[in-house]
Amino acid sequence: MLNRSERRPLSKKTKREKVRHQSLETARTARKKQPGKRTWKAMDRTSTIAAGLIAHRITALTWRAATGKKPPTSTRHPDVSNTEAVTWAVLAGASIELTKVLIHRGTANYWVKSTGHLPPGMKPLNTVGDKKSGKEKPAGPPVEGSAGKRTKKARKA
């Protein structure tokens, strides 16, 4: 049997308090479910710094192995030849970017494996299933329909 208090309808004040309590509980659980944005920022910045340091060392070691000399410290110095300066710049730029890409991808993969979600601010790629091979590939650019701009064929006609 129900008590008298359970049979009576709730007052407006009680309803508001109940809704407020439910919304607070929802907010608490939502915060717990989403991994921290600050944590991702710290991981991303740390990986960027690590990538820069590692890339510089790798580039210097590669330069020493290829030329047998110390890498140029200043490419503006007149004693450094143009080909040496350009080669150093290309090697340094390529190795830095390659190292950054590999380390950032590793950091993002670690985040996904740890949390089960993409890092904050990273959007999922739109993929379209390839029926022939069974593999997924990124979706192409949106195709203009008849409502969009006229195509070259339509302009010629």
pTM, full prediction:
0.53
pLDDT at 47 (0 to 100): 92
Contact by Cβ (8 Å): 54, 98? no
Q: Which residues does 22 contact at the CB level (< 8 Å), separation at least 6? A: none
pLDDT at 5 (0 to 100): 54
The span from the first CA to the last CA of the chain, in angstroms, equals 81
pLDDT at 22 (0 to 100): 72
Segment-wise mean pLDDT, segments of 10 residues, the chain, 157 residues: 58 71 64 70 92 90 89 83 89 89 92 89 74 55 50 51
Q: Which residues does 57 contact at the CB level (< 8 Å), separation at least 6? A: none
Residues β-bridged to residue 138: 127
Residue 2 phi/psi, 5-degree rounding, is: -90, 145
How far is it, in rounded angstroms, from Cα 151 to Cα 157? 10
Residue 130 phi/psi, 5-degree rounding, is: -95, 110
